[in-house]
């Protein structure tokens, strides 16, 4: 977790009048520190939110966070065409949110807990508890 001093940022502004007013408004004569996270984590979380922006992908992830499943079962559970499920699994795999395990003649898809931030895993599991 990276911390950024708000006073330092405001004091680095070019316009003196803007700087003085912002110091007064934002800080009220006290030091404040804002938290931020590293760019790699920001990129991973951004990819995650892009992936779950599609309702079908979110449904797939909610199943896979519970148990590895093959495409044929996901197709049946979601009541959609197999090619559509495969398309979305490919997108989730591209974001490192799922990985594939071959078991006999089946390809099982599994939620990739090792690559996803713990907060995302907690969020998905928490969504399952809402109902």
Taking Cα atoms as reference points, which of 55, 60, 124 lies closest to residue 90?
A: 60
Crossing angle for the helix pair 55-64 and 71-78, nearest 10 degrees? 120
Q: Can you give the residue ranges of every domain in the chain? A: 2-36, 53-129
C-alpha distances in angstroms, 126 versus 16, 62, 83, 129? 47, 10, 29, 5
For the segment 7-44, what is each residue's pLDDT rounded down to a tens digit? 777 777 776 667 777 777 776 656 666 778 888 888 87
* Cβ–Cβ under 8 Å, residues 108 and 70: yes
| Torsion angle defined by CA atoms of residues 102, 103, 106 and 109, in that order, rounded to the nearest 10 degrees | -60
pLDDT tens per residue across span 37-90? 888 888 878 888 888 899 999 999 999 999 999 999 999 999 999 999 999 999
CA distance 12 to 83: 53
pLDDT at 96 over 80: yes
pTM exceeds 0.85:
no
Q: How confident is the model at residue 106 (pLDDT cuts 50, 70, 90)?
A: very high
- Spatial distance between the Cα atoms of 98 and 65, rounded to a whole number of angstroms: 9
pLDDT for the residue 118: 82
Residue written as token pair 């760019």? 39
In this predicted structure, the answer to whether residue 3 has a pLDDT above a threshold of 80 is no
pLDDT value for 37? 84
Supply the pLDDT for residue 29: 58
Class level of CATH domain 53-129:
mainly alpha
Using 50, 70 and 90 to split pLDDT, how confident is the model at 110? very high
Examine the pLDDT at 126 and tell me if it is beyond 70.
yes
Return the higher-pLDDT residue of 27 and 99. Answer: 99
116: its two tokens: 């996803």
């Amino acid at each position: 977790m990276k911390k950024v001093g708000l006073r330092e940022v405001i004091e680095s502004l070019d316009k003196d009048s803007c700087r003085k007013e912002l110091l007064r408004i934002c800080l009220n004569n006290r030091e404040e520190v804002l938290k931020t996270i590293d760019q790699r984590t920001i990129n991973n979380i951004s990819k995650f939110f892009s992936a779950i922006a599609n309702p079908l992908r979110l449904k797939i992830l909610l199943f896979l966070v519970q148990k590895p499943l093959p495409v044929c079962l996901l197709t049946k559970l979601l009541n959609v065409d197999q090619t559509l499920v495969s398309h979305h699994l490919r997108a989730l795999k591209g974001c490192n949110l799922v990985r594939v395990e071959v078991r006999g003649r089946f390809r099982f898809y599994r939620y990739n807990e090792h690559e996803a931030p713990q907060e995302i895993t907690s969020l998905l599991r928490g969504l399952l508890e809402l109902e």
